[in-house]
Amino acid sequence: MYKPLLLSFLVCGITGFVQKANAQVFAANYTTISQQNKNQPDRKASIPLKEALRDAETRFGIHLVYKTDEIPNRLIAADALSGKLEQVLENLLNPAGLTYKKVRNTYIIKTQKVKTSGKEILTPSETSPEALPSTRTISNDLSSLRTVPSQLQFPTSAARAVVLEDIKIAGKVGEENGQGLPGVSILLKGTNRGTTTDANGAFQLAVPDEKAVLVF
């Protein structure tokens, strides 16, 4: 009678020991797997810029227009998509040297203009009323220069020109106070054709077409 009872105790003890050992092994394996997962980098910590732009379109319900060859193959931090629409676009575009222009619900992505020595080279097409900011004096008739409305005024030390019907351009280079800058050389890019501003900062120059670029 004692032998069967003793045998039962031994079997129970061995079974309990095996279960405890299995539990310890499982816990150790779980800890190891958890540590490995923790050490692995987050695959979504950064995403390609083009993918981020598509995500922004879906999230904000907008339409982005851009040339695929102007979008660099670079990674963007995933958290750059956090925030309001304008902030998200700045986070995505500024590091890549891009900017955007809003036209209703469409955002046109383009490369940022590069300024050289604080000066900006402008073409006649950029001298439309919509493209002219700040303070400056300009006229189509050099004999009667006048101050134009604020939307046609220019920033300091910038030269802008108005395209005339006979493919001649005329303008004035001056300071914010309206005083002209004499002796400023203005050349047609890629040629030796050019002129110099007179004592009042005024100039005129014939160009072959509307794609001409002035350098000063």
pLDDT tens digits for range 19-48: 554 555 444 454 544 454 444 444 468 899
204 vs 53, residue with greater confidence: 53
Q: Assess if residue 5 is contained within a domain.
A: no
End-to-end CA distance of the chain: 116
pLDDT of residue 20: 52
pLDDT at 173: 78
pTM of the model: 0.36
Residues 85 and 146 in one domain: no
Tell me, what's the pLDDT at 105? 81
3-state secondary structure of 35: helix
Q: Are residues 94 and 135 in the same domain?
A: no
Q: Which of 89, 111, 133 is the last residue of a domain?
A: 111
- 1-17 as b/e, with b when 16 or more CB fall inside 10 Å? eeeeeeeeeeeeeeeee
Tokens of 116: 């050289």
- State residue 103's pLDDT score: 87
Q: Is residue 6 part of a domain?
A: no
- Residue 49 is predicted with a pLDDT of 92
Q: Can you give the residue range of the structural domain that contains 91?
A: 46-111
Residue 172's Cβ-count burial label (10 Å; 0-12, 13-18, 19+) is: buried
Which own/partner contact pairs does 171-174 have at CB distance under 8 Å and 24+ positions apart?
Answer: 171/138, 171/139, 171/202, 171/203, 171/204, 172/136, 172/137, 172/138, 172/139, 172/145, 172/197, 172/200, 172/201, 172/202, 172/203, 173/197, 173/201, 173/203, 173/216, 174/136, 174/137, 174/201
- Token match 């950064």: residue? 46
pLDDT of residue 42: 47
- 31 occurs within a structural domain: no
Q: Does one domain contain both 128 and 179?
A: yes
Write down the mean pLDDT value for the chain.
Answer: 68
CATH code of the domain covering residue 88: 3.55.50.30
In a domain, 33, yes or no: no
C-alpha–C-alpha distance, residues 199 and 216, integer Å: 16
Among the candidates 57, 77, 111, a domain finishes at 111
Convert the pLDDT of each residue in 130-188 to its tens digit. 444 443 444 444 444 444 444 445 455 544 544 445 477 777 777 777 778 788 888 88
- The whole-angstrom separation of Cα 48 and Cα 56 is 12
Pairwise pLDDT comparison (155 vs 64), residue with the higher score: 64
**What is the number of structural domains in the chain?**
2
Q: Which of 73-77, 115-119, 210-214 has the highest mean pLDDT?
A: 73-77
The verdict on 77 and 51 lying in the same domain is yes
